[in-house]
Amino acid sequence: MQKILFCADFMPILYFVILLEFFILKFVKKTDIRFQNTLTNLNFGFGYFMFKVSLGGLILISYEYLFKHFSILNIRFSWYNLIFIFFVYDFLFYLAHRVSHEVNFLWAMHSPHHQSEDFNLSVAARSAWFHGSFIFIVFMLAAIIGFEPKLFFSVVAINVLVVFIAHTSVFQNYPGFLNKILVTPKYHSVHHACNPQYINKNHGSCFIIWDKMFGTFADIDEKPVFGVTEAYQSWDPVNAHIQPYTDLIRITRNTQKWQEKIKLWFAFPGYIPESYNGPEIIAHTIDAKTHEKFEPKISRNWTIYVTIQFSIMMVFVSIFLEKYREIDDVYKWLFIGFYLISSIILSKIQEGKTNVLSFEVLRIAIFLFCVIYQFQIL
């Protein structure tokens, strides 16, 4: 069950499908999909899968324990229960997803998923690393209610697949009447857009009916500009998760009243306390006609080099996920630490910052030493 839910076995297949979509969009449909952005999204996914599988065992053990000892009900697996719980879960997902866009500290957690300025399947891999803590709370509530683990995690797995498909740009709509009830790629592209009329719209994962019922639905009336209003100008996945919180901390420190300091973290994103006394904060409004995407130029050779390094990283991350239970805890965290450092260095090379090349030489040396030591090549 853990491998199914946390994608230990399916990550290579997932990435193959993402790359297949890239080639279709680039060479068949002739879209402006960008390779560096796609590569960055895949790099985000490496970290997400590692953090998720690290937390996955705790989630499953805690879920089974709470279900066995503290569940209020005892809802077992059956096809009618699966269908019913799928609807219930989808509605709860809508609420949780909407809240993650409307509460500052939760938006800081979720926003890395929305920083991509393209929209395609690779964005589905660009999941926020810290979301596991929020998911943990939701899952434990489900265990206490009394959903059998097999039932609940089957629903979650189906939901994850539907959400993944909704990120594609190969097609926009589903056949016939399905467009009226399901979250199509077109509707979900609205959710990822930062045009003023699209912000905080289309929060549903499978069914669009929740958005239509609660006033958060929007259809496309202008070309979507993807990303966040204050564009994240970097390929670095580590800083992408840190910066939203450092921004909140900076505003908190420059706010004079304690009540407003606390309110800031729970307020709607964009809230500026009245007693704020720091550098001017300028509200950004996206203009679809003039917006320029973050696209630092690097040579073809460096592009090939970074691609090879990320490919090697994907192989070793896949091995890490597959052998996770057999790896000593110390080595687990050393590997995760090495991944984080590698991500920072390679992302800076992607941005054309050659001042990190000495660190890259050291990183390669450490990597080769570890490979030689582990496999006793010499």
CA distance 133 to 16: 28
Residue 202 has pLDDT above 80, yes or no: yes
pLDDT of residue 378: 45
Residue 217 has pLDDT above 90, yes or no: yes
Tallying the residues shown for the chain, one arrives at 378
Which of 42-56, 153-167, 272-286 has the highest average model confidence (pLDDT)?
A: 153-167
CA 280, 282, 286: angle at the middle one, nearest 5? Answer: 170
Instruction: Output the pTM of the full model.
Output: 0.91
Residue 261 has pLDDT above 50, yes or no: yes
CA distance 347 to 363: 14
CB 273 within 8 A of CB 260: yes
User: Among 270-274, 319-323, 349-353, which stretch is predicted with the lowest mean pLDDT?
Assistant: 319-323
CA 217, 221, 226: angle at the middle one, nearest 5? Answer: 80
Instruction: Please tell me which residue, 291 or 251, carries the higher pLDDT value.
Output: 251
Q: Which of 363, 309, 233, 360 is nearest to 39 (CA)?
A: 309
Backbone angles phi, psi at 147, to 5 degrees: -85, 120
CB-count exposure of residue 336 (10 Å: 0-12, 13-18, 19+): middle
pLDDT of residue 57: 67
